[in-house]
């Protein structure tokens, strides 16, 4: 771990209600700027958070969304963990060819799958936990 990458690189935020999406994306941006990520890495992190939470809020069956987002920088990567109370959905199971043309054709999930590595997904007791790894310095 380099001197810039320390245990204090971990951050957890909790968002809820109608401002959950905006609050989560704003937190991702603040985290990226605080950790001095490059513009491309900052944009990719924010887009991944936005896409995953947009899908969750639109398709997760949530009447009272409660979402936690964790960021952890280490070894040239950001670990992103999203915990939520939505319907179970493992993005690894999304079939890229099941395009929805009037809604963007699942472009958001394809970005998430190409810009990050989905490390794990689990659902238990009405809670979901998704862990992704975003390599820094990517394009």
Count CB atoms within 10 A of the CB of residue 21: 18
**Residue that is written with structure tokens 């929805």 in the block:** 100
Domain boundaries, the chain: 17-135
Strands 66-74, 117-124: pairing is unpaired
Q: Which residues contact 112 (CB under 8 A, 6 or more apart)?
A: 48, 51, 52, 91, 118, 132
CA–CA separation, 18 and 89 (whole Å): 21
Compute CA 24 distance to the chain's CA centroid, rounded to the nearest angstrom: 9
**Average confidence (pLDDT) over 60-88:** 93
Q: For domain 17-135, give the CATH number.
A: 3.30.565.10
Write out pLDDT tens, residues 41-69.
Answer: 999 999 999 999 999 999 888 888 899 99
């Amino acid at each position: 771990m380099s001197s810039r990458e320390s245990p204090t690189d971990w951050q957890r935020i909790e968002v809820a209600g109608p401002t959950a999406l905006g609050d989560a994306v704003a937190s991702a941006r603040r985290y990226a700027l605080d950790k001095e990520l490059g513009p491309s890495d900052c944009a990719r992190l924010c887009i991944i958070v936005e896409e995953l939470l947009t899908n969750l809020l639109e398709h997760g069956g949530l009447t009272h969304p409660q979402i936690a987002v964790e960021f952890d920088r280490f070894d040239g990567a950001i670990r992103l963990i999203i915990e939520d109370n939505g319907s179970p959905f493992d993005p690894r199971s999304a079939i890229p060819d099941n395009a929805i043309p009037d809604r963007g054709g699942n472009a958001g999930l394809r970005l998430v799958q190409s810009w990050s590595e989905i490390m794990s997904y689990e659902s238990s007791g009405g809670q979901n936990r998704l862990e992704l790894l975003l390599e820094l310095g990517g394009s």
